């Protein structure tokens, strides 16, 4: 499922658009919490702290954008305030579980090492996805002359991707082939997520 036509449809309806922003906010927040969970108790890096802080800020920023539609909408992350809530909640969790399984087999790591490897590879996959999704979304917002903007997020996500590649280079000389396998896992989960959203949006009455 191509997500451009889907996003074009989503932004036509205020409530649906608010839920989309809230869904992105939920995912940024979940990502930030996962990064924090992967931190080593003492040897956490500056980049990791910066990354978690920025993902939390993205969650906050997206949530605030909802106010430009209607400040009464999507005040929580309850299921009825998200698009495809089950698929949304499963996406990151499943990616984490499947990536850990793969990395454990590929690298034979202890618990702390696996946590860090999962942080590197899962975050890399998410950043590759964000680099694809946010610019498409911003183009649609610009075309629609929307008050909502995600340009600041795009810039930071590009920086994150660069940082992840630098860290992966240090982690393993052949990280690229393993990353490709993680990206394949992510694509399958992402497609399931987008399809679930598309199905929900197709049932909405836009008349």
Model pLDDT, residue 205: 64
CA atoms within 13 A on the CB side of 101: 7
Average pLDDT, the chain: 93
Asked if 149 and 21 touch (Cβ cutoff 8 Å), the reply is: no
The overall pTM is greater than 0.85 = yes
Helix 111-143 × helix 14-37 angle, to 10°? 160
Name the residue among 188, 176, 190 with its Cα closest to residue 120. Answer: 176
User: pLDDT tens digits for the chain (207 residues)?
Assistant: 578 999 999 999 999 999 999 999 999 999 999 888 888 788 888 888 998 999 999 999 999 999 999 999 999 999 999 999 999 999 999 999 999 999 999 999 998 899 999 999 999 999 999 999 999 999 999 999 999 999 999 999 888 889 999 999 999 999 999 999 999 999 999 999 999 999 999 987 654
Residues in the chain: 207
Q: What are the residue ranges spanned by the domains of the chain?
A: 3-202
Model pLDDT, residue 207: 44
DSSP string, the chain: --HHHHHHHHTTSHHHHHHHHHHHHHHHHHHHHHHHHTS-SS---HHHHHHHHHHHHHHHHHHHHGGGT-TTS--S--GGGSSSHHHHHHHHHHHHHHHHHHHHHHH---HHHHHHHHHHHHHHHHHHHHHHHHHHHHHHHHHTT-S---HHHHHHHHHHHHHHHHHHHHH-TTHHHHHHHHHHHHHHHHHHHHHHHHHHHHTS---
Cα 95 off chain centre by: 11
Model pLDDT, residue 199: 94
Model pLDDT, residue 183: 98
- In tens, the pLDDT along 122-164 reads 999 999 999 999 999 999 999 999 999 999 999 998 888 899 9
């Amino acid at each position: 499922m191509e997500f451009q036509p889907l996003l074009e449809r989503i932004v036509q309806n205020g409530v649906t658009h608010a839920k989309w922003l809230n869904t992105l906010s939920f995912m940024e927040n979940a990502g930030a919490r996962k990064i924090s969970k992967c931190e080593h108790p003492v040897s956490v890096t500056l980049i990791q702290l910066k990354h978690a802080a920025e993902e939390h800020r993205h969650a906050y920023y997206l949530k605030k954008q909802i106010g430009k539609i209607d400040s009464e909408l999507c005040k929580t992350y309850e299921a009825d305030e998200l698009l495809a809530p089950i698929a949304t909640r499963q996406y990151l969790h499943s990616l984490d579980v499947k990536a850990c399984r793969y990395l454990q087999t590929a690298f034979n790591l202890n618990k702390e090492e696996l946590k860090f490897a999962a942080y590197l590879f899962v975050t890399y996959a998410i950043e590759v996805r964000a680099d694809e999704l946010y610019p498409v979304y911003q183009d649609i917002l610009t075309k629609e002359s929307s008050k909502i903007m995600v340009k600041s997020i795009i810039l930071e996500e590009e920086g994150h991707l660069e940082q992840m590649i630098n860290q992966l280079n240090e982690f393993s000389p052949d990280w690229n082939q393993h990353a490709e396998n993680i990206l394949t896992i992510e694509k399958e989960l992402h497609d399931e997520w987008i399809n679930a959203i598309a199905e929900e949006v197709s049932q909405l009455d836009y008349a």
